[in-house]
Every structure is written in C-alpha cells, then in structure tokens.
Chains A and B, each alone.
Chain A
C-alpha cells in the first residue's frame, strides 16, 4: 500500500448511506490499512454522512454528500463534505471537548437515546475537525497508520 485518493459521492438519502458504508469497508480491507479497522472506519464515515443528511439537509434528498479519501503509509484522512446548513454549534463544540460517555449507573430514564454519533466519531478517530467555508461544510476524520506488515 503506497498512497492514493478516492472520491465517492451520494445523494442525501438515508437509504444511500449503507452503500457508502459498504464501499468504505471494502476499500479498507482491500488497501490493508494497518491499524484502521474496516468496521471502525465504516462506522465513522456512516456517522459523519448521517450527520450531513440529518443536520445539513434536514433529511431532504436531492442534495450531494461527498466522501473523499486520501491515504498514505502514515495516515488515512477522510473528508465528508456537504453544502447545506452549518453544523449546530452544540455539536461542533463537542469536537473540542474530551469524550465522555454517559454514566451507565445513573437512572435508566436519564440515559440518552440519541446524540451518540459525534461521541463515537471522537472515540474512533485519532482526530476530528469541522470547518465551514462559504457554503461547504467539511468534517475531517483522521486515522493514524503504523507500518503495514508484509
């Protein structure tokens, strides 16, 4: 495995997300990216694309979500781009905070049933960042890779 770039693009339809997820998993397996577990990379990309469709496009299909991969021997960098509403500050701010999962010993009623996606992203990826330039939202996911075994 040396280096390369691969670009995927899907419609902002939740039914399309599984296709990009499966493509990501196959890609990771094929490239044999050391340390980047295919199922974890798939989960991270699916969470990011779900976020674009849900928050940027308000679940409306007919818009574009781009997923760009760039990899070399040291890292796998994935950018998820949409052209919809900005990410809510309450979510974007999570990237600057430490990950803290809910306390499972608390009362059952207090356990959240949503909002796990961004916390999972932070747990899985080595680095996550968000920026908005003009009308383009970019969520950048980074995975560090060690040397690939022969």
Chain B
C-alpha cells in the first residue's frame, strides 16, 4: 500500500507512504483520490511528508487529483520537501495549489 487515508471533519487526509511519487505510484494516487471523491468527500489534503522524490508522472497525478475534486471541492498539499517544491515551482503549479508547511496548519485553515 502506498497510501493511508484518514477522515477528519469531512476532510480526507491522504498520506503518501511511498518514498517516491513516480510513474509506478502515480496511477494508484489517481485511483485513491477517485475512490475518496466517489465516497462523497471532495475536500482532500495530500500529505507528502514521506515523499522524497516526485517526477512528472507524479505531478500529473497530483494535477489529476486536483481536477477530480472539481471547482466545488478543495485540494491542498502539505509537507513538501525541497525536491518536490522545486518541481512545482518549475512548472508554476505552486501558484495553483494551496500549500501548507504541515498537516496541522492545513487542517486549521481548511476548518476555519
């Protein structure tokens, strides 16, 4: 299993437990988010604290996940390391996503 999901105040906290969010894991991320949305939850926090590396396949899966939650949903990211931050910065996706330094702060903002 590359993911763990915990529901907190109608927010799904999806933690990637794999160290690499790459072409091998990306399809599973899209499926995990799809399952959450199909289950009626459209507010998702993606926790990347264990992810040391992300490639363009991983980035594509994150963008897909963001699109899956739709305009009415909410999709935020927390706990990115420098390498993951770099790929979002290079692609300007850091301008699109709500990004928090840790899960606690992210949940606090989402619940406010």
Contacts and interface: CB of A to CB of B under 8 A. Distances in A.
A111 interface: yes
A43 B93 contact: no
B100 to A, nearest CB: 18
A18 B20 contact: yes
Interface string B49-73: 0000101110111011011000100
Contacts of B83: 39, 42-43
A8 to B, nearest CB: 17
Contacts of A54: 23
Interface stretch (B6-14, B36-44, B84-92, B101-109): B84-92
Interface of B: 20, 22-24, 53, 55-57, 59-61, 63-64, 66-67, 71, 82-83, 86-87, 90-93, 95-96
A40 B71 CA distance: 33
Contact of B64 (A39, A47, A113, A119): A113
B55 to A, nearest CB: 5
Given A47-B56, A50-B57, A104-B92, 19 more contacts: A14-B24, A15-B24, A17-B23, A18-B20, A18-B22, A21-B53, A39-B83, A43-B83, A101-B91, A101-B92, A104-B96, A108-B67, A111-B67, A111-B96, A112-B60, A113-B64, A116-B56, A116-B60, A124-B90
Contact of B55 (A50, A101, A111): A50
A17 B53 CA distance: 12
A54 B56 CA distance: 13
Interface string A89-116: 0000000000001101000110111101
B24 A109 contact: no
Nearest to A124: B90
A46 interface: yes
Contacts of B86: 39-40, 43
Contacts of A14: 22-24
A73 interface: no
A47 B59 CA distance: 12
Q: 8 closest pairs, A vs B, by CB?
A: A39-B83, A116-B56, A117-B56, A104-B96, A113-B60, A113-B64, A101-B92, A123-B90
